[in-house]
Amino acid sequence: MVFLVEFLRDPRRTGAVTPSSPWSIRSLLDEAEVAGARSVVELGAGTGAITRALLQRLPPDARVLSLEVNPSFVARLRRRLADDRVSVVAASAADLREVLAEHGMGRVDRVISAVPWTTMPSGLRADIVSAVADVVADDGRFSTLMCRHRAATAGARSFDRLLRSRFGTVWRGQTVWAEFPPMFAYHCERPRGR
């Protein structure tokens, strides 16, 4: 219910009426190959559905930095996530470089995202993708969810071009038809332009 309330308050920023489903999360994290990662950044942590699944898969010495802009979600995450491996940060993904520096982290193994790419302003979208490309390790991966029905929109096409301009390898994962609306993940490797 909290997700719906926040969506009604600010649909462009929240981007969805419900958290990601277990099916989409499983597909995203399987394709992202997070199991051996030691450093992970999560963008758009929401109510923590992906965060909790990440923590189940990561080794005991892993470190997760979860960024979220919605103050209600941040407060909820901080109350409900009792795991020393995760730090919840109230910050925009566009400030990723600075946030990592403040937390003593350099380049990271994985960046996992559920931010609403197609509803955000194009300048902000470009700033975030640039920040991600700058902080993901050379052998790391950036993985982000996308609604399948939005994939044909101008915003999604622009996002696809942006990803391909900042990463040498970009591919789409399998569509999760059990989700409503159906979702897939973009996966990006070999960051460039830094």
Residues 84-126: pLDDT tens digits? 999 999 999 999 999 999 999 999 999 999 998 988 899 999 9
Structural domain for 96, as ranges: 2-191
pTM score of the predicted model: 0.89
Per the prediction, the chain carries an average pLDDT of 90
Rounded to whole angstroms, the Cα distance separating 165 from 77 reads 33
Residues 27-41: pLDDT tens digits? 999 999 999 999 999
Domains identified in the chain, total number:
1
Residue 17 confidence (pLDDT) above 90: no
Q: What CATH number does the domain containing 83 carry? A: 3.40.50.150
Residues 46-89: pLDDT tens digits? 999 999 999 999 999 999 999 999 999 999 999 999 899 999 99
What are the Cα distances from residue 115, in Å, to 45, 125, 130, 140, 193? Answer: 8, 10, 15, 19, 23
